[in-house]
Amino acid sequence: MNGRVLLIGGSDPSGGAGIQADIKTVTALGSYAATAITALTAQDTRTVYEIMTVPAGVVLRQLRAVLDDIGADCLKTGMLVGANVVEALCDELSDRYPDIPLVVDPVMAAKGGQRLLDLDGCAALKRWLIPRATVLIPNVPEAEYLTGLKISNLAEAKTAARSLLDLGAGAVLIKGGHLAGEQVRDVLLTEAKEHVFAAPRIPTRHTHGTGCTLASAIAAGIAQGLTLVSAVERAKAYVLHALRHAPGLGHGQGPLGHAHPWKARQMKKEKIPTSGG
């Protein structure tokens, strides 16, 4: 396998999102997945029933155990629960592992609306974690919360991405799934360039864990030495493939088809058009 990814986030026993989706994604794309668990949840495709937070010290012990032995070529954060975990993680990364690329998925709420990061945690994420991010990957509601801006179209998404870039992130990818249109258009902004990725909107209820999957796929690409644009292109193609091959499980928003046979040549079939600015 090529590339090592340390996945930092919450566990989803239904297997569709969180650490379970992260591991499936990274493995399917040919990288090695290791984990640091921040929370245990009781959830299914319909709702989150209960959350048990892992103490910040235990999260850090997991982090050190992996990085000081196996190492990592990229880190990816998902559900971080609260400010104590966010701050402890940022201190640890700055002090001991400042050079490892970091993909930040600012998980704030489940698709059912249940809060997964408390208000203090959101403030800590904005103040401490975003400036550490190699790439920040919010959806539209998360980007609106972090910027205070209304996002109803691609132009407004670009403005919000610039605002988030000004907070210190190396790059910002705002996902367009919440915006209207037959195509889903995501905007990637760096200090140097702007790229828009367009993909067909798949009419399906099986969207549980799409954000986790996309962010982990991007992390796998970075770990393997792909450019950020290439990592996003492949990640988008993988998510599209997984949506089209969802197994049809669950009574709510079902999981993706993470394990459906995937090869690099699928890029030719699942090509994601990209426009550069």
Catalytic residue list contains 209: yes
Catalytic residue list contains 211: yes
Total residue length of the chain = 277
Catalytic residue among 15, 78, 209, 250: 209
Encode 217-228: b = buried (16+ Cβ within 10 Å), e = exposed. bbbbbbbbebeb
User: Strand, coil or helix: what is 41?
Assistant: strand
Catalytic residue list contains 38: no
CB 208 within 8 A of CB 14: yes
Catalytic residue among 45, 53, 210, 213: 210
Work out the angle between the directed axes of helices 210-223 and 228-244 (0-180°, nearest 10): 140
The CA distance from 259 to 266, in Å, is: 14
Catalytic residue among 74, 90, 122, 212: 212
Catalytic residue among 24, 76, 111, 175: 175
Catalytic residue among 77, 147, 207, 213: 207
Residue 39 in tokens: 């929370």
The CA distance from 202 to 156, in Å, is: 23
Catalytic residue list contains 207: yes
The CA distance from 191 to 101, in Å, is: 17
Strands (E), the chain: 4-11, 32-43, 48-53, 74-77, 102-104, 135-136, 171-174, 183-190, 194-200, 274-276
User: Strand, coil or helix: what is 254?
Assistant: coil
Active site residues: 175, 207, 209-212
